[in-house]
Structure 1
């Protein structure tokens, strides 16, 4: 036993790590919906733990008490959205505020109270054991809020489309089986005519656009139904709600354009790239030009990334990448890098961590769109699909997209696609080099025979 104990001692010359006070003026705050519990160092006040209500006047009193106690660093849990008013107030008052993940600051099991939680946060922050979450600048936060509001409106509008289709199906109106989109030009004309009282299938079918493949007879046949009053009423209300949300989307787009204009830091317009159709749910203004004037580079030159994807990434992260020292830190924050679950020197799992990151979700959707792309990124994605299952391949391609975005925003360089053939040739050369090295280890020599084109 003594020999075993001696073997566990530190080697000579290796210093023992000792916890040091890195933030002696730190405070911890346990966030709640109705009140917040605040803990300061015990030697700063006779009552080092206090409770403050969540009213604005009490929040100002909280900040005044922290300043009186000589606090300069504050750690708080990310509880719902209750932390936002206090975070913004303390940040304006000059405090260094760290928003920490509640999963990373769990106390000893069996000891759980608001007073103990804020004291535990204060102790961890004093010794520098906490890391704050990423939060962009205020102007980018405003852009992010507008972008999320627009996404919520689009989801609400999509639910109204589902209500329209349900009402049509209940009346046995099979319009969705002959035209691809019931809220397109043709579908909107027919639906509004139905709500206005038109029931003749031939008259309704005559409203179709010339690009509709279905014939007039097929459309008229699909519009034969029972026309029940309750279902017509549901269709009318769903169409009215769809129009109302469309008005709100137009207002949100105006606010979004104004906020992007206030964030312009570069002049000029983006160079002409590949001709792409306008994204279905993209704003009506020139979003690509405004994103270019904000970032200084055109992110839509990357295959798979359209203007809506670029808007989501820029609104969630911003253009200042100084908070991420390397591209690996950026990929880790997105949750697109492999996990490190290792014990006993054995890798148990390399699965990526689960996180609800909107930018990562947008990049995954962009990566899935590379399936039919005749580009280097498209070839990479298809090769990943051949090696692993589809979700892992999507994550790998999204990780590559994230690396490209980080490089463009940090170095200010435009992305140039080398093409599918360039990627395939590089892959071929890499495989030949690996095979040559393996043959040399076995005492052989690899001879490459050129195949005719």
Structure 2
């Protein structure tokens, strides 16, 4: 143990911060309670530096740790610790001595810090996670708009695949402007839908009893949906521009994966960063994301093989990519999905999780080795084509 080592433990709450500074003999040399306002954080930093603190650790309490981290990260080495792992360590722990316990665990090297990206990637995360929140709001308000139309007897959503489709939205805009005649509304429906279900059925579906209150509410929902869509586009453009500015090579390289376009590539970079050094192996990245199955076996019986908890934002975008990749013709992932689901009759949802895991492993290797995606299935097809050409050439020589 370093003789000059001085560490600090921080117990961060919404309104207070408990600080405990310890030396290498495990003696408490300073302990104090602070507020959480910006001047208080500056005071915490200055007093920790004055006591010679070089290392500090804190629990990841909601979002309250973020301003504390930003105030201290340039002055000392910091570790952000999952509270679950702190609780698993042996020893007594109370609310009063949380900070002392964290400092003691840090001094004995019993805790390992979580992955915290740099400020650029953190800003990208803000845009990316805002997009997820806005998409949830968009789905919620679209469903509320459809429910308002259903109360009026407007049943077009029973016959179209999406409520944000062109035909559906044209009808909504027409109703908002006061056009409620079924003969006029049915003209806005795509011909494919009319041919599939029949003009009379669609006409009955768009026939409704619309009052002024209903039209007013539909107008409000339409305006709110428009604002959400505009904000999604703004966040998406800002995120893509940051990727092109700070990580142009990695951003372009990730788009060589089947199913990955600008939105997916920007989300992957925003959640993981372009540097894979925090993840020693691909399995570490997979476990951090939450795509690694549990190994819960007792007495040769599998109790659970469900995936673990992890970064839900990265996991969600990878699952979306896996659905696209499994439908991309002549690629490894579509061939894997076909073999596992059709020939071996495995659960399709579980196969999508397996594909997402393979995608994340490929991302780790691509960003670590600075290589584009190599599709082994296409390589195999190319070799088979070469063998067939050589065989045909050999047969022609033997016949000649």
Q: Same fold (TM over 0.5)?
A: yes
User: Residue by residue, what CA displacement relative to the aligned partner does 1:319-346 show, whole Å, maximum 9, x if unpaired?
Assistant: 1112122222222222223434467999
Aligned-residue CA RMSD (Å) = 3.1
Partner of 2:262: 307
Q: TM-score, normalized by length of structure 1?
A: 0.74
Aligned length: 377
1:378 equivalenced with 2:359 (yes/no): no
What are the ranges of 5 or more consecutive residues in structure 2 without an aligned counterpart? 385-400
Give the superposition deviation at 1:211. Answer: 5.7
Which sections of structure 1, spanning at least 5 residues, go unmatched?
1-19, 265-292, 427-453
- Cα distance in structure 2, aligned partners of 1:345 and 1:36: 47
Instruction: Give the Cα separation in 1 of the matches to 2:328 and 2:237.
Output: 33
Q: Are 1:330 and 2:253 an aligned pair?
A: no
Q: Distance in 1 between matches of 2:256 and 2:241?
A: 24
The worse-fitting range, judged by mean Cα deviation, of 74-83 and 395-404 is: 395-404
CA distance, structure 2, for counterparts of residue 243 and residue 362 of structure 1: 24
Could you list the structure 1 runs, at least 4 aligned residues long, displaced by more than 6 angstroms after superposition.
43-46, 107-110, 342-348
Q: Tell me the alpha carbon deviations over residues 365-420 of structure 1, each in whole angstroms, 9 at most, x when there is no partner.
A: 32244444442222223444437544443332222111111111122222233437
User: 1:134: Cα distance to partner?
Assistant: 0.7
- Are 1:219 and 2:174 an aligned pair? no
Q: CA deviation at 1:47?
A: 5.8
Counterparts in 2 of 1:337-352, with a 5 A limit?
A: 337-341=292-296, 351-352=306-307
TM-score (norm 2): 0.84
- In 2: Cα distance, 1:369 partner to 1:296 partner: 19
After TM superposition, list the pairs within 5 Å mapping 1:4-153 onto structure 2.
Answer: 20=1, 24-41=5-22, 48-92=30-74, 94-106=75-87, 112-153=93-134
CA distance in 1 between partners of 2:163 and 2:4 (Å): 60
C-alpha distance in structure 2 between counterparts of 1:255 and 1:69, whole Å: 42
8 Å Cα contact 2:259-2:321 kept in structure 1: yes
Q: What SS does structure 1 have at the residue aligned with 2:80? A: strand
Q: Deviations over 1:74-111 (max 9, x none)?
A: 1000000000000011013x211110000010178995
Between the aligned partners of 2:95 and 2:367, the Cα distance in structure 1 is: 42
CA distance in 1 between counterparts of 2:345 and 2:164 reads 40
Separation of aligned partners in 2, 1:304 and 1:418: 16
Alignment partner of 2:133: what SS? helix
In the alignment, which residue of structure 1 is the partner of 2:140? 159
The offset of 1:245, in angstroms, is: 1.6
> Higher helix proportion, which one?
2
The separation in 2 between residues aligned to 1:25 and 1:346, in whole angstroms, is 47
Select 1:402's aligned residue among 360, 374, 378. Answer: 360
